[in-house]
């Protein structure tokens, strides 16, 4: 709770500091605020803070791990985006504050104990994203992205709310603990509860962009400004996954019966649709969008496994995925191409060896090549489910194989020869972020031992 309050105040303060028209001050405020938030959250690990009491929020170990990860990625994205944000002096504070407010929603989703806080968190997470998707006001595609995301997103929220209403009707409580007790005490499963759970599941699958609710993904991802795309792919997905995992595990005692069948079907469909559509993409951000759909398919396997380690595995997966996205988004900011064509990255690794190297690492990590962190994420998720669902894991492995093709295609473009290629300038901030993500990609695998 303290962390959320500090973060929220940071957002407000950076809004007002922006009135001085000095972007660097806004950046410093935001970075200090986010860092303090992370520190305050980490202190909770040893001694739980009790300054502000609120029943709707409860901090446990997973809250802290997830929260620290989300804060880290937001920190990196604010750094990456600064070069773009500071161009519009009038709006720098707005952009950074909106990202911070979205992070507040993510922190609510990591720690809620009742459906009310869950819904509030999800909305605080999404609404800033609708705004940020359209923040490149002069670009038609950006406006289109905001419009599409807002309409479909609010519709999904409606479905989710309807599901929550049904669940409340069946169980008569909003508290996760009382909900799970009520379900355990039930003799016959109630149809109302099942309908509610299906509607909530549909809302969840929309928020993370799983097939058949993935149609908004590519358009929104490719239309939004680069930083926002990255933020959506990492922080928003991490928060949505964690929030719903909490809800299903603590509130509904895990999913079973035909929910498992639904999730298996959705997972397999998501992997195939994401992968096969990604094969022929010519734009980097659309490729990221489809590959992120595929990764949602892999991560959904986590929800199927009833295991106390599931949150840790899910975290490792998104931790690994996030570093790749951070690196790729930084590279796309460096290249800074309006059309975002993959052809534009021709010979990028030759002209900018360091950025190119990190880009190749990121793509290999997404493909799941062993020494990199992406491999460990996949390994933990797949190995946790292989005994229960062997066929599903085989399908997932086949899909990982397909995915290597389009990642390699980008890598080959990046290292191909082109005499006319110009060297892109790498700003110091981008170089810092690239170095951090390089360390994350190479050394991140060690977290696996800690998680185990």
Partner 1 sequence: MTNSSYSDYFPILIQAGVALGFVLAVLWVTHFLGPRLKSKVKNSNWECGIESDGNARFPVSIRYFMAAILFVLFDVEVIFFYPYAVNFKELELEGLYAVILFVAFFLTGFFYVLKKGALEWEK
Q: How far is CA 27 from CA 13, 21, 76, 432, in A?
A: 11, 12, 12, 15
Query: Closest approach of Cβ 105 to partner 1, in Å?
Result: 16
**Residue 226, C-beta contacts closer than 8 angstroms, at least 6 positions apart:** 80, 81, 84, 285, 329, 332, 333
Residue (of 114, 136, 277) closest to 211 by Cα position: 277
Provide the CA 213 distance to its chain's centre, in angstroms: 16
Tokens of 45: 């690990």
Query: Is 445 in contact with 373 (CB distance < 8 Å)?
Result: yes
Query: Closest approach of Cβ 79 to partner 1, in Å?
Result: 25
The DSSP element (H or E) to which 291 belongs, if any, is: helix 284-304
For partner 1, the closer of residues 39 and 186 by Cβ is: 186
For partner 1, the closer of residues 12 and 265 by Cβ is: 12
For partner 1, the closer of residues 55 and 308 by Cβ is: 55
For partner 1, the closer of residues 12 and 24 by Cβ is: 12
Query: Closest approach of Cβ 208 to partner 1, in Å?
Result: 31
Query: Closest approach of Cβ 223 to partner 1, in Å?
Result: 22
For partner 1, the closer of residues 171 and 325 by Cβ is: 171
For partner 1, the closer of residues 68 and 127 by Cβ is: 127
For partner 1, the closer of residues 150 and 290 by Cβ is: 150
- For 100, other C-beta atoms within 10 Å of its C-beta total 27
Query: Closest approach of Cβ 119 to partner 1, in Å?
Result: 19
Q: How far is CA 32 from CA 9, 25, 107, 134, 195, in A?
A: 12, 11, 17, 27, 45
Query: Is 36 in contact with 85 (CB distance < 8 Å)?
Result: no
For residue 114, list its beta bridge partners.
175
Query: Closest approach of Cβ 371 to partner 1, in Å?
Result: 49
For partner 1, the closer of residues 12 and 49 by Cβ is: 12
Query: Closest approach of Cβ 10 to partner 1, in Å?
Result: 14
Query: Closest approach of Cβ 225 to partner 1, in Å?
Result: 21
For residue 283, list its beta bridge partners.
341
Tokens of 139: 């670009």
User: Which residues make up the interface to partner 1 (CB under 8 A)?
Assistant: 12, 15-16, 19, 169-173, 182, 185, 192
Q: How does DSSP classify residue 344?
A: G
Omega of the bond prior to 212 within 30 degrees of 0, cis?
yes
Q: How far is CA 221 from CA 72, 125, 126, 161, 209, in A?
A: 21, 16, 14, 25, 11
The DSSP element (H or E) to which 13 belongs, if any, is: helix 2-17
């Amino acid at each position: 709770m303290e962390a959320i309050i500090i973060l929220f105040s940071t957002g407000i303060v950076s809004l007002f500091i922006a009135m001085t028209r000095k972007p660097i001050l806004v950046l410093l405020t935001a970075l200090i605020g986010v860092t303090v938030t992370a520190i305050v959250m980490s202190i909770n690990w040893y001694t739980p803070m009790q300054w502000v009491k609120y029943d709707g929020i409860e901090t446990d170990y997973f809250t802290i791990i997830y929260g620290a990860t989300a804060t880290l990625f937001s920190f990196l994205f604010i750094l990456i985006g600064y070069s773009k944000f500071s161009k519009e002096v009038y709006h720098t504070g707005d952009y950074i504050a909106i990202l911070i407010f979205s992070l507040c929603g993510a922190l609510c989703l990591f720690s809620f104990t009742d459906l009310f806080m869950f819904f509030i968190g999800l909305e605080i997470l999404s609404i800033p994203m609708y705004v940020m998707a359209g923040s490149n006001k002069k670009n038609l595609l950006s406006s289109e992205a905001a419009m599409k995301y807002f309409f479909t997103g609010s519709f999904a929220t409606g479905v989710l709310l309807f599901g929550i209403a049904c669940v409340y009707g069946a169980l008569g409580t909003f508290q996760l603990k009382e909900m799970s007790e009520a379900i355990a005490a039930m003799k016959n499963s109630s149809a109302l509860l099942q309908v509610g759970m299906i509607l909530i599941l549909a809302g969840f699958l929309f928020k993370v962009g799983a097939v058949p609710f993935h149609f908004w993904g590519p358009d929104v991802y490719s239309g939004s400004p680069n930083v926002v795309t990255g933020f959506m792919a990492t922080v928003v997905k991490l928060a949505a996954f964690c929030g719903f995992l909490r809800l299903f595990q603590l509130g509904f005692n895990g999913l079973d019966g035909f929910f498992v069948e639904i999730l298996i079907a959705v997972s397999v469909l998501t992997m195939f649709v994401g992968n096969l559509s990604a094969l022929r993409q010519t734009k980097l951000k659309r490729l990221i969008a489809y590959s992120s759909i595929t990764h949602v398919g892999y991560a959904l396997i986590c929800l199927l496994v009833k295991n106390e380690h599931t949150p840790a595995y899910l975290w490792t997966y998104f931790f690994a995925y996030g570093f790749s996205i951070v690196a790729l988004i930084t590279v796309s900011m460096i290249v800074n191409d309006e059309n975002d064509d993959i052809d534009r990255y021709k010979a990028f690794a030759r002209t900018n060896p360091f950025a190119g190297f990190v880009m190749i690492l990121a793509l290999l990590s997404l493909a799941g090549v062993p020494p990199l962190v992406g491999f460990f994420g996949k390994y933990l998720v797949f190995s946790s489910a292989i005994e229960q669902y062997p066929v599903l894991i085989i399908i997932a492995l086949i899909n990982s194989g397909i995915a290597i093709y389009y990642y390699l295609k980008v890598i080959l473009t990046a290292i191909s020869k082109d005499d006319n290629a110009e060297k892109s300038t790498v700003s110091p901030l981008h170089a810092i972020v690239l170095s951090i993500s390089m360390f994350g990609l190479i050394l991140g695998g060690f977290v696996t031992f800690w998680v185990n």
